[in-house]
Amino acid sequence: MYINVLGAGLAGCEAAWQAAQRGIGVRLFEMKPKKKTPAHSSDHFCELICSNSLKAARVESAAGLLKEEMRRIGSLLMEAADQCAVPAGGALAVDRDRFSSLVTKKIRSHPLIEVMEQEVTELPEDAVTVVATGPLTSDILAEKIIALCGGSLHFFDAAAPIVTAESIDMNSAFTASRYDKGGDDAYINCPINKEEYEAFHAALVSAERAPRHDVDVMNPKVYEGCMPVEILAQRGIDTLRFGPMKPVGLRDPKTGHRPWAVLQLRTENQDKTMYNLVGFQTNLKFPEQKRVFGMIPALRNAEFVRYGVMHRNTFLDSPKLLSADYSFRANPDVFFAGQMTGVEGYMESASSGMMAGINAAARLLGKKPFLLPRETMIGALADYVSGAQTKDFQPMGANLGILPPLETHIRDKKQRAAAYAERSLKLLDGILKHEV
């Protein structure tokens, strides 16, 4: 008795783990290391392509609440993330190499999980199957999924560059967290004055971009959460100052004043030898990235260990196709999980994999689906992707806006967020007490 899981990304690994933990054999198909997508470089599972941040850590936040719900259900990825955490102010960020290595080790050593190192070109019909091949699904399998679902949507996703710590000019930078939250060592801040900013902006909007494939050029939709910085800059000279370069909550100790604009760098690993350019996802050509981003004083001699890249992302019109347990309505033996369902974000993807894995196991065992109420963040995301009433379905990350309103309106934002979290976790704990 087994299920198939296609893809060993965040959603696939979580799905495989949850099914195996319930006594179900799992055949986990992964085409790495024999074949990789243009955005992947590691042979390990759960490779984090974009940021190494898993968003806010506070339970009294949408992202923090989601992660706490996952912890209580028994998430493999949350266990790994907590063990591989690096300083990131109020966020939970991980050493990406240690994180993926740890998850890979746990998956490969599970006695009920068999890793099949091969590319899947057909949707298996031999068992209940979880499709978690991600936004970079190989072309052959993508065609089969599109045929099964009657079409798909796609947009572009972009990753930010990473630079070495030793190449950052700390004479032109300072360490601090916004509003002094999370400790002074959480971020390296690269200030820039008005004259420097205007020159940087002019260079950014006119810089040469990397070419895109014809099929992608025909579908130029870009998800706002991963908008390339050069496209943001085209919207106006002050767009970056109110976006990824906003100086609010920061004060340069050298001047005693708030800078005109600031680029924040977040640590990529526990040794703090690499830093990510926060919010600087880009599709510029590599030499242009070095030239333009080098106009920021602290990065004038920056050594890039990874340049930003841009790639196609694919997701389904899930409200028309999926049930709340992430099963395919036209064939309940097929489940989908991850970003291809329309959840946006690392842990959002993992949470969908968690629910798909649990429910795939339940289906095989003849049990009723495991569904969480909309008052929980996991339940709210499942409800969104399976029942969103919109003509133009778009990916959604964890946010308090998708939760049902509180019975009593609370004006204070922090108190309101805390009340949402308290309600969710109380409901979840009650449900888990009755789960075997």
Instruction: Look at residues 22, 131, 151 and name the one whose alpha carbon lies nearest to residue 74.
Output: 22
User: Quick one: average pLDDT of 206-233?
Assistant: 69
Mean pLDDT of 260-281: 89
Helices 286-293 and 194-206, axial angle in degrees (round to 10): 170
Q: What is d(CA 215, CA 218) in angstroms, rounded to the nearest whole number?
A: 5
Q: Tell which wins on pLDDT, 77 or 36.
A: 77
pLDDT digits (tens, 9 = 90+) for 305-331: 888 887 766 789 899 999 999 999 999
Percentage of the chain with pLDDT > 70?
Answer: 91
d(CA 265, CA 268): 9
Query: How much is the pTM?
Result: 0.77
Q: Regarding the domain delimited by 2-152+316-419, which CATH topology (the fold level of the hierarchy) does it fall under?
A: FAD/NAD(P)-binding domain (3.50.50)
Work out the average pLDDT over 352-357.
98
Listed by start position, the domains of the chain span: 2-152+316-419, 162-312
Q: Which CATH number fits domain 162-312: 2.30.30, 2.40.30, 1.10.3470, 3.40.50?
A: 2.40.30
Mention every residue, 6+ apart, whose C-beta is less than 8 A from residue 303. Answer: 163, 164, 166, 167
pLDDT at 40 over 70: no
Q: Residue 215: pLDDT above 80?
A: no
* pLDDT tens-digit readout, 96-138: 999 999 999 999 999 999 999 999 999 999 999 999 998 778 7
Place 220 in a pLDDT band, splitting at 50, 70 and 90: very low
Mean pLDDT highest for which of 34-48, 228-242, 384-398?
228-242
Domains 2-152+316-419 and 162-312 share a fold: no
Q: Residue 184 — pLDDT band, cuts 50, 70, 90?
A: low
For residue 156, pLDDT over 80 is answered with no
Q: How far apart (Å, rounded) are the C-alpha atoms in residues 197 and 191?
A: 9
Where does the pLDDT of residue 213 fall: very low under 50, low under 70, confident under 90, or very high at 90 and above? very low
